[in-house]
Structure 1
Amino acid sequence: MPFPTSKTKNKGTRLRALAVSAAAACLAAAVTGCAGADTTLPSSARTRPGATSQATRYGAVDCREVKCIALTFDAGPSENSARLLDVLKEKQVPATFFLLGKRHIEKYPELVRRMAAEGHEVASHTWDHKILTQITPEEIREELRRPNDEIERLTGRRPTLMRPPQGRTDKTVHEISRELGLAEVLWTVTAKDYATTDSALIRRRVLAQADRDGIILLHDLYDGTVPAVPGIIDALKERGFVFVTVPQLLAPGEAVPGEVYR
């Protein structure tokens, strides 16, 4: 699939500017996001009382026994998503997609359906990428409710996960997420692909940070990202990693609404 048109690139430029601004504000937390809340590790989620009751829900992968890692993509769907889905299908790798509503789900509903149909986890990155800690509680509800409604309409399944824009969250966001049945998912690996088109650099950054139970943050709307993905997958498989969705990473535990995971 061709890379972005000028209109899509303008959107990418806007998001790149937002991300660069976030990086400056959150320099000390550049790898794991800007949340000030306590976070739950995947290994902790897997060992909670009662977790074994869900042991077979997410298939044969058991991250208590194998070295798992989750590949996640923010801010799609985009013109690059079909190409990315082709790569993931060829490599037999599941991913978790945190989707934007406005100008994304609205524009590419067929890609949302394809993501779900091909076994990927479809989640929310809000409707319009508003910073949730800077808006009113009612605006937070709207930012989270609208993409959930659209994803459920398209796929038949309501999201249970969301990623706050720029990783910014607080007590109010947790409470509203709990009310809406959403857990928050941050990350442990970032390639800062919003700041470079160098696919080789994106690959090196991911590989340098990757570890067991890692959550990789990438954005498929940027020019350098999708070309980096095959090399990332191949190199991590060679290291013995097994790719899983975020729910698989937490299984046999499950994400609890209102909690933050990374």
Structure 2
Amino acid sequence: MPSASSRTGRAAALAIAVAAMPAAWAQQGASCEKPVYLTFDTGHMGVASLVAEVLKRQNVRVTFFAAAERTQTDGDSLDSHWAPWWKARAAEGNEFASHTYDHAYWRGDLKGVAPSFRIKPSAGALAGREFTWSTAEYCANISKASERLALITGKKPLPLYRAPGGKTSPRLLAAAKACGFEHVGWSPAGFLGDELPSEKFSNEKLLAQALETIRPGDILLAHLGIWSRKDPWAPANLEPLIVGLKAKGFCFETLRQHPQYRAWIASHP
């Protein structure tokens, strides 16, 4: 039978080992040699609960780009109905950024000394009409979504934004950057196809294509619900995509860790 002193020694050693485990796990988690950056834009929010469940189950953090888009709950994606959902995602360690408050599409630059743009919102009271916006008006719409996210999540969003449809011009990007917002698009292979017609692009085809073509460093794009797609993407593909990428050695990070944006984010605390 082991002596009291040897038992005490082993107990102390075990305590030290257990205490060291979190640090070891953290170090292992910090090592991400094949990162990908999964991002979600808002939509009708019909798959939002499912997306949250999958991300939590798979221990994956993502970056959400939010606009006040029309939802299946007869409101918008940044209203009080969805505030608890966003707050819960913040508590899980996800990141947030603006998608312009009114999901405002850039339609063209206008000539003149002061930059101005043709803009067509697809959400809110202005939806479907085309306007001429100054730099200040465009920046205000980006900021409005960011400020709303900060209010309902309790977490400061990243100083990033994504233009609806990814439609921009050099002049528009320069204007947004001057007011503190760097634009984020997506990688060609990262376009996951959830807004394409399911009659031509089946979930099986989209999943196989993604697993074949995604490479380390890619920014991936999906949505929290697309009105036009008859066979929704997320219920069929989100978890198999994450599991499949993990099996190939990929790991998931938020845009806070992206090498292209780290310095910008750090300089805009």
Report the TM-score when normalising by structure 1: 0.68
Q: Which amino acid aligns with 1:202?
A: L
Q: Distance in 2 between matches of 1:157 and 1:220?
A: 20
Partner of 1:241: 250
Q: Shift of residue 109 of structure 1? A: 1.5
Question: Which residues in structure 2 correspond to 1:47-58 (within 5 Å)?
Answer: none
Bigger Cα displacement from structure 2, 175-184 vs 226-235: 175-184
Question: Which residues in structure 2 correspond to 1:79-118 (within 5 Å)?
Answer: 79-102=46-69, 103-106=76-79, 107-118=81-92
Distance 1:88 1:194, change over 3 A: same
Partner of 1:175: 174
Distance 1:150 1:213, change over 3 A: same
Distance 1:226 1:247, change over 3 A: farther
Partner of 2:211: 207
Write the deviation string for residues 32-73 of structure 1: whole angstroms up to 9, x where unpaired.
Answer: xxxxxxxxxxxxxxxxxxxxxxxxxxx95355xx11111111
Partner of 1:128: 102
Asked whether the equivalents of residues 98 and 143 of structure 2 are also in contact (C-alpha less than 8 Å), the reply is no
Long gaps (5+) in structure 1: 1-58, 258-262
Q: Shift of residue 184 of structure 1? A: 1.0
Q: Distance in 1 between matches of 2:261 and 2:66?
A: 25
Long gaps (5+) in structure 2: 1-27, 70-75, 109-117, 120-132, 227-231
Q: Distance in 2 between matches of 1:250 and 1:236?
A: 20
Please state whether the residue corresponding to 1:152 is helix, strand or coil: helix
Q: Distance in 2 between matches of 1:201 and 1:139?
A: 41
- Larger RCO: Structure 1 or Structure 2 (Cα < 8 Å, ≥ 6 residues apart)? 1
Moved over 4 A (4+): none
Q: Distance in 2 between matches of 1:112 and 1:77?
A: 14
Distance 1:181 1:60, change over 3 A: farther
Bigger Cα displacement from structure 2, 235-244 vs 110-119: 110-119
Q: Shift of residue 151 of structure 1? A: 0.7
Bigger Cα displacement from structure 2, 206-215 vs 131-140: 131-140
Q: Which amino acid aligns with 1:91?
A: Q
Asked whether the equivalents of residues 123 and 161 of structure 1 are also in contact (C-alpha less than 8 Å), the reply is yes
Q: Distance in 2 between matches of 1:126 and 1:205?
A: 30
Partner of 1:184: 183
Please state whether the residue corresponding to 1:221 is helix, strand or coil: coil
Write the deviation string for residues 161-210 of structure 1: whole angstroms up to 9, x where unpaired.
Answer: 11111111223322332233221111111122111343322312322320
Aligned residues: 198
Identity %: 26
**Which is higher, the Rg of structure 1 or of structure 2?**
2
Higher helix proportion, which one? 1
Report the TM-score when normalising by structure 2: 0.66
Question: Which residues in structure 2 correspond to 1:1-262 (within 5 Å)?
Answer: 60-63=29-32, 66-76=33-43, 78-102=45-69, 103-106=76-79, 107-132=81-106, 133=108, 134-135=118-119, 136=133, 137-159=135-157, 160-188=159-187, 189-197=190-198, 198-222=202-226, 223-250=232-259, 253-255=262-264
Q: Which amino acid aligns with 1:185?
A: V
Q: Distance in 1 between matches of 2:179 and 2:150?
A: 13
Please state whether the residue corresponding to 2:30 is helix, strand or coil: coil
Please state whether the residue corresponding to 2:61 is helix, strand or coil: coil
